[in-house]
Amino acid sequence: MKNIVILISGRGSNMEAIVQACAQEKWGARIAAIVSNKATAAGLAFAAQHGIDTAVVDHKQFDSREAFDAELARVIDGFQPDLVVLAGFMRILTEGFVRHYEGRLLNIHPSLLPAFPGLHTHERAIEAGCKLAGATVHLVTPELDHGPIVIQAAVPVLPSDTGESLSARVLRQEHLIYPRAVRWFVEDQLTVSNGRVQHQAGAPQVVWAAD
């Protein structure tokens, strides 16, 4: 049974999708803990209601990123994770933290990486006149929103879109691809070579969503 620790900062809808898929699809894994850098993160209540351990490491209590990341890693390691999942965890992580979890740290980012790393991805995609937008699940490397891509979902950008409407369209696909990617990881179905991730049985690593 593999241990998954999920890190959140807020709403936690991707975390919920992973928790639910893990239970419904009976993965050979358990959600060992949900850890947040904000005590007010809405996702903590969902986790507690589902009997999942929760922890808060408030970044505001630390003088430096290094000190925060060291305590965060200490708390995470207490749950003996095989995989650490960043699900809307809105902190920039130090190289030391990322190296500590190298190869077992996943992130979801709401753009078709390598386009639009950072914040306000949907507004920037609309502003740039993109006809496609989407989300990417990737293994985390020290560079922000960067690293070997596990799966991407693409959605159209409509002429009437606002950041909000595009965000909602992308989020529906995030809830599909993130549980899928986490399941592949815990079932050892992924191979990484030369910075590229392949599903060993050839499962499609792209989702095209018309709406």
Of residues 17-76, which lie at the interface with ligand GAR (CB under 6 A)? none
Q: How far is CA 114 from the centre of its chain?
A: 16
Cβ atoms of 47 and 205 within 8 Å: the answer is: no
Structure tokens at 124: 């920037």
Residue 68 or 178: which CB sits closer to ligand GAR?
Answer: 178
Of residues 109-128, which lie at the interface with ligand GAR (CB under 6 A)? 109-110
User: Is residue 11 a contact residue for ligand GAR (CB under 6 A)?
Assistant: yes
Q: In the block, which residue shows the tokens 């960067």?
A: 146
Q: How far apart are CA 205 and CA 26, in angstroms?
A: 22
**In the complex, minimum distance from the CB of residue 183 to ligand GAR, in angstroms, rounded to a whole number:** 17
Among 7, 12, 27, 173, binds ligand GAR (CB under 6 A): 12
**In the complex, minimum distance from the CB of residue 140 to ligand GAR, in angstroms, rounded to a whole number:** 10
Q: How far apart are CA 85 and CA 71, in angstroms?
A: 17
User: Is residue 134 a contact residue for ligand GAR (CB under 6 A)?
Assistant: no
Q: In the block, which residue shows the tokens 């929103």?
A: 145
Out of 100, 109, 122, 146, the active site residue is 109
Q: How far apart are CA 61 and CA 71, in angstroms?
A: 11
Of residues 83-102, which lie at the interface with ligand GAR (CB under 6 A)? 87-88
User: Is residue 147 a contact residue for ligand GAR (CB under 6 A)?
Assistant: no
199 is catalytic: no
Cβ atoms of 101 and 110 within 8 Å: the answer is: no
Residue 110 or 147: which CB sits closer to ligand GAR?
Answer: 110
Q: Which residues are catalytic?
A: 109
